Chain A
Amino acid sequence: MSADNTTAFEQSPSAWFSRRRRLKRNSLASQILVRIGSAIAVLWAAVTLSFISIHLAPGDIISLLIGEQLRTPEIEAAIRLEWGLDKPLQSQYLTYLLRVLHGDFGRSYILQTDVSGLVLSQMLPTLKLTAAALVVAVVFAVASALLTAGRRLPRSIAGSLELILISTPSFWLGIVLLFIFSFTLKIFPVAGDRTFSALVLPALSLGLSLGAVIGQVLRQGLERALEEPFMLTVKSWGANDFVLRLRHGLRHAALPAVTLAGWLVGNLLSGAVITEAVFGRPGLGRITVDAVLAHDLPVVLAVAILSAFTYVVLSTLVDVLYLLLDPRLRNQNAEAGH
């Protein structure tokens, strides 16, 4: 195994870093600069598009804020003054950008609270939920792929289970999980975000369908890898089947799955809306939906910035994961640097 350079599994991270250090400094710096530049562009685009779409959507902010209550010119004037809506749109937009640069995200029209505090307080429960869901998804996908790839009967059982999970609405799955494990067996509480055990069911209901999608991709990849000639070589060294799959097959299968996962994790954030409602959990989902419906611009924009930021971080992580998983990409980079 020690001689197996194809998988390069035993290369220590320090070896990898020393190779990276050999890259020309300006190439690394420029790569980072490009990353940061495109991140800023993405954030700016997210803010601008959200700003425009909220203003294009039907319903003006003042009417939405007044709702079914009494409406007089004095009330309208008070609202305009309070939120700076009396200024032209361009100046509202520029003022907002300026304020954001200073770290001031404004106040929620509806909830009347500081948006940074609001979003930060709701971000942690959502991050916990999505992280736990991701763990569920990865464990499910890896286990399902490793145990069933290339084996006819287990494969078809797992495949059908995955299909069912993919096509089950997470709302329904959540209610069923609650009914069985919380209301009937009383193992897990429905409780919001208070204990670790309260995280289990929401994570399952959000993570399982994601795991099912990744699992299918991973299994196909694994099956392809198992048919590669090098597998025969490894087998000839006397590696048993499990080691074969885990240490040699999985890495080959992981690339498409990682690509997919990076994209799906972004979807987790939007899927969290429903899971949060079912389980009575705090989180970004609820406040985002309410904010969009009510045209609560400061909240919408803050969430847009946060989501864009999350996507940027995720796509960077996926790129780094590629490098870790596939030595060929590292060598390409290294050669490009010389």
Chain B
Amino acid sequence: MLMRRYFLGLTAAMLVTGALPSLGMAGDGTAVSGGKLTWGVETEPATLNPQLNGQDKTKLLLRNAYESLLARTADGGYVPWLATEYKISDDGKTYTFKLRDNVTFTDGQKLDAQAVITNFTKLKDAAYSGSVSAGPVSRIVEAKALDDHTVSFTLNQVYAPFLDYAASLEILSPAAFNSTQLKSGGPEIAGTGPFILKRYAKGQDIQFVKNPAYNWAPKTSAHQGPAYLDEVTYRFLSESSVRTGALTSGQVDVIEGIAGNDASLFKGNSDFSYQTALNTGTPYSLFLNVTWGPTQDLKVRKALISAIDVDAVLKAVYRGERARAWGITSPIDPQFYDKSIEAAYKPDPKAANTLLDEAGWTARDADGFRTKDGKRLTIEVIQAQATVRDQRDVLLQALQAQARQNAGIDLKIVFVDAGTYTDRRKTGQFGSIANSNTPTDAIDIEYHYLPLDKGGSINYSRAFAPELSQWLNEAASTLDQKKRFDLYSKLQRFAILDQAYALPLYEPEDQVAAASYVKGISFRPFKQLPESAYDIWRSE
């Protein structure tokens, strides 16, 4: 109850920006069908197969064509979509989904129990799905069709995040698995969505046309029946200033990914609408390596966190356009975010300096950095050059300045190529890596805090304390949400306050700006990413 109340308070601002579609529509008049829309996007999909694509930024376009069994509501609940109902057995191991009996893939295939089973079984094969095969599907020991339109999955043990995974998996036409386009994705890979993937011009754009037979939108959508738009094209414009210019000059109707400096062009301008939504998942945080370099010492980690005034840094870098983060998951998460972490720690340069004195970093070199045994207190932050975005290079430099000024710590930012980054990650020879992720249902926490070889694929603090995996496994193996909340909350205090594994910085967000005649733009309830074009229409 406490969580829900908090969530409502937090989303008050989101309602205004149209996070909930039904309210976002208010005052926009009656929706009209027809017309085309062009949307300028930053990221081009590496693959168009939604099951293999791990890029959050491309979900907004893939979701036009591919749908899943259940949809999420803003408070984290589930509502029917391709499945009309679901049931979890008393022992918590068997999930049963009853499917709609009137759904057809856009290649003419019927959605039935066998089609769903084919999808899940194929995903278990590493030759098809690579890393995905080691995820939640690996826990399925039996998938069977109870009748034509009922499927059940039995797991080897209780695993709470499974429901979100099974409910959100994009279901492909069974015919797709025989296509040569299977892994790259493409027009041959049919889904059930309100739009059909018609044409993909690599490096340029991707085009979807309306699926006239569509009639199975979830309750969370603003309308039922076919989509309003006849056609929607997403153009790949990787430069932020070019996207902004393309929108202001009327060459595209909608853009996503707006630089902090450009936001003011659209905010409060009646020719445009501007909406943002905080991401889910672990905030962008500086993870401190506990197995290499000076950060092996708890005192050094604590000192670094005390030395940096995150609020001041964010204000200077983003002009207040980014939300401060405190914990191990997003403040927008209605299920597992414990806000008691907020303000539970604060910048304290004096404490930082005391800690460093105690740790033996007492001498100073000519540049003012602390040293021990003639060695400078250097923490190397490794950053892959190709993945810098959202002015994070500037953010890191601001942190660097604070660490030096307040505590004499040399936070050295090393920009490297993708190969070197991979090597350093693998060998663990780095002081710190800054990173965020977006999965929900505490999977984000598992990736960051399970041991490296036990599912912690981005455990950049390389933390291995036995408590971590004990709590995470305990939380994942119960369906009692209250108990899970308490365990994640305990982990949050342990990881951030006691062990100083990470310094949370800010929660990334998505931005969408559109010409004022474009109506019905929204973000997905709960998952927060920009929604597909299904509810979008043109008022002129």
User: A residues bordering B, Cβ < 8 Å?
Assistant: 57-60, 63-72, 74-75, 77-79, 81-82, 110-113, 118, 121-122, 125, 175, 178-179, 182-184, 186, 189-194, 276-283, 286-287, 293-295
Partner among B130, B203, B242 whose Cβ is within 8 Å of the Cβ of A175: B242
Known pairs A111-B184, A121-B202, A280-B235; A82 contacts B422 (CB<8 A)? no
Q: Does B363 contact A (CB under 8 A)?
A: no
Minimum CB–CB distance for B297 against chain A, Å: 27
Known pairs A280-B235, A282-B202; A59 contacts B423 (CB<8 A)? yes
Q: Does B386 contact A (CB under 8 A)?
A: yes
Question: Are B422 and A64 neighbours in the complex by a CB distance under 8 Å?
Answer: yes
- Chain B: CB-nearest residue to A279: B242
Question: Are B418 and A64 neighbours in the complex by a CB distance under 8 Å?
Answer: yes
24 chain-A/chain-B pairs, Cβ below 8 angstroms: A58-B417, A58-B423, A59-B417, A59-B418, A63-B422, A63-B423, A63-B425, A64-B418, A65-B130, A74-B133, A75-B126, A81-B127, A110-B46, A111-B47, A122-B203, A184-B249, A190-B242, A190-B251, A192-B205, A276-B203, A277-B238, A280-B238, A283-B203, A293-B418
Partner among A64, A65, A70, A82 whose Cβ is within 8 Å of the Cβ of B457: A70
Give Cα A190 to B455, complex, Å: 44
Give Cα A113 to B249, complex, Å: 35
- Chain B: CB-nearest residue to A192: B204
Question: Are B242 and A178 neighbours in the complex by a CB distance under 8 Å?
Answer: yes
Question: Are B131 and A277 neighbours in the complex by a CB distance under 8 Å?
Answer: no
Question: Are A182 and B249 neighbours in the complex by a CB distance under 8 Å?
Answer: yes
- Chain A: CB-nearest residue to B385: A293
- Chain B: CB-nearest residue to A82: B127
User: With a CB–CB cut-off of 8 A, which chain B residues contact A71?
Assistant: 131, 134, 457
Q: Does B419 contact A (CB under 8 A)?
A: yes
Give Cα A279 to B54, complex, Å: 26
User: With a CB–CB cut-off of 8 A, which chain B residues contact A183?
Assistant: 245-246, 248-249
Question: Are B419 and A58 neighbours in the complex by a CB distance under 8 Å?
Answer: yes
Q: Does B236 contact A (CB under 8 A)?
A: yes
User: With a CB–CB cut-off of 8 A, which chain A residues contact B245?
Assistant: 178-179, 182-183, 190
- Chain A: CB-nearest residue to B424: A58
Task: For chain B, give the interface size range.
Answer: 35 or more
Q: Which of A71, A121, A193 has the most CB of B within 10 A?
A: A71
- Chain A: CB-nearest residue to B457: A70
Q: Which of B132, B183, B419, B420 has the most CB of A within 10 A?
A: B419
Question: Are A64 and B419 neighbours in the complex by a CB distance under 8 Å?
Answer: yes
Partner among B127, B421, B457 whose Cβ is within 8 Å of the Cβ of A69: B457
Give Cα A58 to B202, complex, Å: 28
Q: Does B135 contact A (CB under 8 A)?
A: yes
Q: Does B201 contact A (CB under 8 A)?
A: yes
Minimum CB–CB distance for B311 against chain A, Å: 29
Minimum CB–CB distance for A197 against chain B, Å: 12
Partner among B127, B132, B237 whose Cβ is within 8 Å of the Cβ of A190: B237
Q: Does B458 contact A (CB under 8 A)?
A: yes
- Chain A: CB-nearest residue to B235: A280
Question: Are B203 and A59 neighbours in the complex by a CB distance under 8 Å?
Answer: no
Q: Does B365 contact A (CB under 8 A)?
A: no
User: With a CB–CB cut-off of 8 A, which chain A residues contact B455?
Assistant: 70
Give Cα A67 to B457, complex, Å: 9
User: With a CB–CB cut-off of 8 A, which chain A residues contact B419?
Assistant: 57-59, 64, 293, 295
Give Cα A75 to B201, complex, Å: 31
- Chain A: CB-nearest residue to B421: A59
Give Cα A123 to B47, complex, Å: 20
- The 8 A CB mask of B112-138 against A (1 = contact, 0 = none) is 000000000000001100111111000
Beyond A65-B130, A69-B132, A118-B202, 9 additional contacts (C-beta under 8 Å) are: A59-B420, A74-B133, A110-B46, A121-B202, A186-B249, A191-B251, A192-B235, A280-B239, A282-B201
Question: Are B251 and A189 neighbours in the complex by a CB distance under 8 Å?
Answer: yes
